[in-house]
Structure 1
Amino acid sequence: MSDIVTTDLSRFGYRELKMAASLLAAYCESPPDFLGDGVTVMFNTRSGCVFLTDEDFNVGMMNGDRLEQFHTCFECGAEGFAEEIDDHECK
């Protein structure tokens, strides 16, 4: 694990801790089927994103008030929620 992405809560600011709390509350209310074993809360210190990830590198983020899968196209690097990258074209 690099210094950019951390699971160390002491490195989370108040904003990031609140984001983590929202993620965990959404996860408790309705565990998503796209996250498997080894779910961890992570914080990207460069982007400011807080997200859940599992041992297969699936990612869950809050999209408004809903926990949704965050996708990455491994061909072109496009990232986003399903509605944001459904129609993307790899170049």
Structure 2
Amino acid sequence: MANTPQAKKRIRRNARREVINHSRVSRIRTFIKAVEMALTAGDKGAATSALQAAQPEIARGVARGVIHKNTAARKFSRLTKRVSALS
């Protein structure tokens, strides 16, 4: 258990940041799901536009430190590959 005032403050701060970071990751997942839904439907136009909307969100997640840069690069690569494979 936290004994020092600094440790107690860190616990309070971490709880606040957890809520913010969770909402950011959830938002990113929502954008990725929109791309995947368009892919499963086979709609290349919708998938392309959804991917263009998802890319800045993923990049913003990296900038805010909620996802790792290599994770973002992997998601960019895999989604782009799947969208371009649609004919």
Q: Which has the larger radius of gyration?
A: 2
TM-score by length of 1: 0.26
TM-score by length of 2: 0.27
More strand by share: 1
More helix by share: 2
